[in-house]
Amino acid sequence: MTGGDYDPFLRGRFPVGVRTIQAFDADRVRAFSCEIWYPAAATYAGEDLSPETQDVFTIGTTSRSQQAIRDAAAHPGTYPLIIFSHASWHHRRGATFLCTHLSSHGYVVAALDHFEVAAALGSRDGETSAHRKARVEAVIANRVPDVRLLLDQLLSATAWSSDAIPDPARVGIVGHSFGGWTALAAPDVERRIQAIVALAPAGSSRRKPGILPVTLDFGWGRDIPTLYLVAENDVSLPLAGMYELFERTPAMKQLVMLRRADHLHFMDHVEETHEAVRTMPPLTAESAWLPREMRPIAELCSGEQAHVFTRGLTLCHMDSALRRHEAAHRFLAGDVEAELARRGVVAHRARAASR
């Protein structure tokens, strides 16, 4: 195996705890619900994986579970911190498959319901073009402040009181879709971020109708190791845009493409979510192209294959960038495609790390 005994695809040694906190932003007079995953005490071993004891929550009217124990006692220590930024109008628990995996390997992981969710800034019947423009501008403008608020909360001893202490010197960010744009935009103003994983990010100049009009300056002023994980058959944010962003990234970078995957393969419940979007009536005439162009899930890779891909490579990148883990560095520098193939996942790496 590349990197000796190092295997980022396996679950880590820590059981995972989860807690919900409220972060209040005085400037915006707004409270944000935040989910925090953290290494739990050894006495909880196995409880995060058991349906009888793991956390259950509700999204809308749907009951969901995640591989974590609600309000478990923490395993004492100082851990790298990873922020997760969700897709537009989604929610903080949209990728628990990834957040719990990272936490099982000794990371504190935090996500909040972004401003458009907290403020219920969805589309409205009879909305004028001027109102829609103002609403979209507010959604975009609040994304990076959300990340900064979450960092401030987690790195404050008063806001996050736990024996699992986030390390302010080791901070990474992961984001999907609009959250991927958020991950790439935040370092323009947030110097605490030291590693990025962008999952099918928005922000390219090749934008389809109805896609948020976001752009990226890449004004980082420093080298931030960046990993792009993208989907071959992404209808919402096509592959050409991923390569455009990758080429513009002014840092050490890699791009790995998951074959036979679409945009929603980076979320929980891939099959269900993909088919729900593909078969639902278009929300607007502007977005009518989306379900028409999506392929049936039976023609694409499985959700589990996508999760193996995303969990393992995200963890490996963070281990390399934040922990300076030599085995993780060797793994990423090695034959990643072969390692994925051994696990039934077909992928293509654009090229080795480059500056």
- What structural domains does the chain harbor? 16-349 (3.40.50.1820)
CB 94 within 8 A of CB 183: no
Tell how strand 253-258 and strand 347-349 pair up: antiparallel
Q: What distance, in Å, lies between the first and last C-alpha atoms of the chain?
A: 26
Dump pLDDT digits (tens) for 222-236. Answer: 999 999 999 999 999
Q: What is the pLDDT of residue 124?
A: 66
Dump pLDDT digits (tens) for 164-222. Answer: 999 999 999 999 999 999 999 999 999 999 999 999 999 999 899 989 999 999 999 99
Q: Which residues contact 36 (CB under 8 A, 6 or more apart)?
A: 18, 19, 20, 21, 108, 109, 110, 154, 160, 162
Residue 163 β-bridge partners = none
Q: What is the pLDDT of residue 143?
A: 95
Q: What is the pLDDT of residue 116?
A: 87
How far is it, in rounded angstroms, from Cα 24 to Cα 150?
10
Compute and round to an integer the Cα radius of gyration of the chain. Answer: 19
How far is it, in rounded angstroms, from Cα 248 to Cα 271?
32
The structure tokens listed for 317 are 């990148």
pLDDT tens sequence for the chain (355 residues): 344 589 999 999 999 999 999 999 999 999 999 999 999 999 999 999 999 999 999 988 899 999 999 999 999 999 999 999 999 989 999 999 999 999 999 999 999 999 888 777 666 666 788 888 888 899 999 999 999 999 999 998 777 889 999 999 999 999 999 999 999 999 999 999 999 999 999 999 989 998 999 999 999 999 999 999 999 999 999 999 999 999 999 999 999 999 999 999 999 999 999 999 999 887 677 888 999 999 999 999 999 999 999 999 999 999 999 999 999 999 999 999 999 999 999 999 996 444 3
Q: Which residues contact 245 (CB under 8 A, 6 or more apart)?
A: 184, 198, 201, 203, 204, 216, 228
